[in-house]
Amino acid sequence: MADDGNHHPQGIPHSINSNFDDDFEKSDENSPLLSSGVPRGASCNDVEYRGPLTGCGAWKLCDPRSAWHRYTFILILTCLLSFGSYYCYDTPSALEEVIKDDMQIDTSTYELLYSLYSWPNVVLCFFGGFLLDRVFGIRIGTLVFGGFVLTGQLIFALGALFDSWICMVAGRFVFGLGGENLAVAQNTYAVTWFKEKELNMVFGLQLSFSRIGSTLNMNVNKPIYDSINNDLLPYQRLGYTLLVGVAMCVFSVICGIVIGILDFRAEKLLNRNKASTGEVIRIRDIKDFPANLWLIFLICVFYYITVFPFITIGVVFFSEKYELTPAAANIVNSLVYFISAGASPIFGFIVDKTGRNIFWVIIGTVITLGCHLTLAFTFITPFAVMSVMGLAYSILACSLWPLVAFIMPEHQLGTSYGFMQSIQNLGLAVVSIIVGVIVDGSGYLILEVFMCAMLCVAIMFSVLLYLIDASRGTGLNFSAKERRLIKEAKKREKEMQTSCD
Amino acid sequence: MAFRVGMDVPIVFCTILTLLVKGFVADRELEIINKKCDIPKCNQTHDGQPNLVHIKGTGENDTIHYLWSSIGAPAVILARTTLGANLTVNWKDLLDGTKTGSLSFQPPESVLYSSALMFTKLIEYNDTSDDGTIQSKDARMMTELESLTWQKGTINSTDCSAVLLGKLGDNGTISMKLTGFGKGGRLTTLPHLQYTENSTQLDVTMQNVMNMIYTNYTNARFALEMVVVGRDNKSGTVNIKEDTSIDDQYTPGTFSTLNVRLPDSPLGSYVQWKPVSYVKKGRTMENARHVYEYKLETTRENIDMPQTSIVRAFFSPKEIEQIGALNVSFGITKDGFYKKTNYVSWSIAIGYGDPPEEYISLTVYIVISVGLGIPLLIVVFGGTGVCISKHKEKKRKSLQSN
């Protein structure tokens, strides 16, 4: 069967390693031949339609197989899919003081808005990913999760508008049901359309859009609130401000509908449905997840906990240790976000061009370790250190996430990404607590040492991943050239098989 | 500063050495009393005992005295004397405008060193631009601390501390707690300042001190003016220095220590603090706010000495050769101003000798070597192992193909 070279990989020579199946690459396309090697579940019998299309499809822009189509519609739409959810996610933090004053709540109550989002998502993502694979399918799934996000934000906004705190909290919970899962759906869309092509770059670009979403949120919410008619009651002004977020969510849902239609059309036109294996994921498949997938999850957790929990408490560190003004400390603290927004697509492109994802993962982790060591033991300007950390984070993010698509068969992708997100959420939630305890009790130096130790663990896992990959020949660390050669060999082989049928 | 770590390694050994040596230095025997006023004036009124707390730390060769009083501006006098010195108080003169000479050690030549710290003014300022600091454009109101009414102090002889409480407005209080120490260490509460057998800690807490009636500032914050005085004129003027360290293990989130020194030979005295205050009773990092310090004024003509204080009773005006006045303000940008909690608390250490330096503790070195060393070793050795085995495999393969 077509999907996994992972389970019994030892005896499979590279040239027929089905990880590098190629049922989706079009011969008439002149996009760069960058194979990332994703199983698509094709076999000799399942051949995608390759002939010319009529009607709109005859145009490059409308032909689902064309790079034009991918770059214009699909790329933009996938990126915008979760724009609304990223914009809304950080709204409470952008309006923290306003919410506390207008709703008359204290800090610990306010924090419910985040904990009611993050803790349920420790498990929700996993089930969301599974539902995506098993029940909804990606198109309906995207709309369902997008709908949760929209409804949640709407309840949240109405709660403010009618001065009901409970309603607001409930809204955040509903929002959480969709938020992270929508990101999983977004990843799955990206894989469906861009695997074996520009997947690393697309992941990078999605990352930038999410960062742009949160940055926009951080900067516009307060001005919007301030610009709303002063005669209204404070909580009504808050409500109207939050309704802007609802508009963003509506926009994202529309994007979800359009991309769903385009995906459906592509499937019809290209006969893609037949090309799939028809396999479905079962819960017990999880125990068969290959070791290198678990390693990827672990690298993901141990890396992410050293970046984001640190940033949440970074302002005090920067302002006190480097004697920066609070404004400057805030800028330093958000540098990782800014830099990664710009650098992710670029690094994604470079990783696409070079391949060797595991090396990039190791490089990203080692550089981040260097940054944390510098922060811990020197007084070198944090502007430089945090910028470098932003670059390292971009490198890691756009080389690590696509690895899952290299390993897992398509019908398990949603579950895999959901699982990854779940574990990441768990790690972030737990470590945020640990970080607070360490800083309160022992200070930032010890915290930095803890971060460095976690990064060392991540490096260990990355090296282990490299070793396992090398010994089992799963090809995660192939260079772009090797991938291309394998793909070409594969294509020839398939043509031979087709002709023999 | 980047090379600090390298330099600190020998410091660890030095510290261990110093600790060993310090073990031989005798701790001080502590004694705390409120000097009893025996003149009729004090006994006439109910609660008429003025606050004059005397903490005496007797060592093997000398005695350190701290005189802590709210007669006039609240002040601490630090004196190192020979073992037999006696404190004499002329209560009549002391209560009559703190006349010079009303407070002294007998015999006079027993005093080996003396200096003092006074809190002179409470400054309420309207931080219109919300930058935390006092700007010249900010409206301000000064309260002379000598004009406050001070309650009878409470003395706790178990931990050798005395609390003086000044009343301000309807329910505002300034509480100042002085704690003496017989040996070195750190208190369990933040900011965990270092103390020695030659130092004391002073905790200043200002609660509900906003002056609603006169000022009604919307963005009110507070600052304190401190004045230090010393006798020596040869070793240099009062100076302030900020030490920055990579280590914040004792005071999480605070990386610097400020030292105001009054140099003298062989040893002078110091006032030490960390630039951090706390806005709630529970001193946690969450309640920590930055403390800004301003320019140290050392020109005598520019400094207002309070009309009354035990400093005036102890030092004659011409004895005061060293002087330094300094403001500190509490709070930072966007912290919601003083009104958010109506509370701010801050700690300083006053001591004889050189201010204790912060050093990276052995625990930190152990945590660093274990937390970083082990994974790094695994990665390095593992990586080398992998490279070697790969190299060998390549060689074998090439031999086979040949």
For A1-289, the fitting CATH number among 3.20.20.10, 3.10.250.10, 3.30.465.10, 1.20.1250.20 is 1.20.1250.20
For A139-144, the CB contacts below 8 A with 24+ separation are A139/A259, A139/A260, A139/A263, A139/A264, A140/A260, A141/A181, A141/A185, A141/A414, A142/A81, A142/A182, A142/A185, A142/A186, A142/A189, A142/A256, A142/A259, A142/A260, A143/A253, A143/A256, A143/A257, A143/A260, A144/A178
Whether residue B143 has pLDDT greater than 80 = yes
Q: Tell me what pLDDT residue A183 has.
A: 85
User: Contact B375/A456, CB-based, under 8 Å?
Assistant: yes
User: Contact B1/A379, CB-based, under 8 Å?
Assistant: yes
Best B4, B188, B189, B255 member to test A by mutation, with max A CBs in 10 Å, is B255
Q: Where are the extended beta strands (E) located within B158-312?
A: 161-168, 172-180, 185-186, 194-195, 199-207, 220-230, 239-244, 256-262, 269-278, 288-293
Average pLDDT over residues B109-121: 90
Helix (H, G, I), strand (E, B) or coil at B258: strand
Q: Output phi, psi for B235, to 5 deg.
A: -85, 0
Q: Which residues in chain A are contacts of B379 at CB distance < 8 A?
A: 456, 459-460, 463
pLDDT, block means (10 residues), chain A with 501 residues:
33 34 36 34 44 61 69 82 86 81 79 82 82 84 90 91 88 87 85 79 84 82 82 84 90 90 82 56 76 90 90 85 84 86 88 88 93 91 93 91 85 84 87 86 87 89 86 78 80 68 50
Whether residue B147 has pLDDT greater than 90 = no
User: Contact B248/A443, CB-based, under 8 Å?
Assistant: yes
Tell me if chain B has a CB within 8 Å of the CB of A326.
yes
Q: List all residues 6 or more positions away from A99 whose beta carbon is below 8 Å from its beta carbon.
A: A92, A105, A110, A113, A160, A238
Look up residue A51 and give its DSSP letter: S
Q: Are B356 and B11 in contact (CB under 8 A)?
A: no
Average pLDDT over residues B185-200: 86
Tell me if chain B has a CB within 8 Å of the CB of A166.
no
A15-29, B182-196, B356-370: segment of lowest average pLDDT: A15-29
**Which candidate from B249, B333, B379 shows the least CB-CB separation from A326?**
B333
| pLDDT tens track for B4-17 | 443 444 444 545 54
Q: Which residues in chain B are contacts of A376 at CB distance < 8 A?
A: 246
Q: Are A478 and A356 in contact (CB under 8 A)?
A: yes
User: Contact A326/B367, CB-based, under 8 Å?
Assistant: no
| pTM for the predicted model, two decimal places | 0.79
Tell me whether domains A1-289 and A290-407+442-496 share a fold.
Answer: yes
User: Contact A459/B250, CB-based, under 8 Å?
Assistant: no
Q: Cα(B131)–Cα(A327) distance, rounded to whole angstroms?
A: 10
Q: Is the dihedral angle over the CA atoms A189, A195, A199, A203 positive or is it negative?
A: positive
Q: Cα(A77)–Cα(A72) distance, rounded to whole angstroms?
A: 8
Tell me if chain B has a CB within 8 Å of the CB of A365.
no
Q: Tell me what pLDDT residue A23 has.
A: 36
Distance from CA of A84 to the nearest CA of B (A): 29
Cα A486–A474–A3 angle (5° rounding)?
80
- Chain centroid to Cα A410, Å, comes to 17
Q: Quick one: which H or E segment has residue B317?
A: none
Task: Give the other-Cβ count within 10 Å of B100's Cβ.
Answer: 17
Tell me if chain B has a CB within 8 Å of the CB of A380.
yes
Best A374, A445, A451 member to test B by mutation, with max B CBs in 10 Å, is A445
Q: Which two tokens stand for residue B232?
A: 């020596």
- Of A476 and B204, more confident: B204
Write down the domain spans for chain A: 1-289, 290-407+442-496
Cα A100–A101–A102 angle (5° rounding)?
100
pLDDT band at B225 (very low <50, low <70, confident <90, very high): very high
User: Contact A446/B256, CB-based, under 8 Å?
Assistant: no
Distance from CA of B275 to the nearest CA of A (A): 9
Tell me if chain B has a CB within 8 Å of the CB of A471.
no
Whole-number Cα distances in Å, A299 to A340, A393, A459, B125: 19, 13, 8, 52
Q: Tell me what pLDDT residue A274 has.
A: 46
Q: Which residues in chain B are contacts of A319 at CB distance < 8 A?
A: 290, 332
Tell me if chain B has a CB within 8 Å of the CB of A317.
yes
Q: Tell me what pLDDT residue B23 has.
A: 47
Task: Give the other-Cβ count within 10 Å of B390's Cβ.
Answer: 12
User: Contact B372/A453, CB-based, under 8 Å?
Assistant: yes
**Which candidate from B1, B367, B375 shows the least CB-CB separation from A446?**
B367
State the helix-helix crossing angle for A137-161 and A96-103, rounded to 10 degrees: 50
User: Which amino acid is residue A70, in one-letter code?
Assistant: R
Best B3, B249, B365 member to test A by mutation, with max A CBs in 10 Å, is B249
Best B280, B368, B378, B389 member to test A by mutation, with max A CBs in 10 Å, is B368
Separation of first and last alpha carbons in chain B? 58
Q: What is the CATH number of domain A290-407+442-496?
A: 1.20.1250.20
Q: Tell me what pLDDT residue A16 has.
A: 33
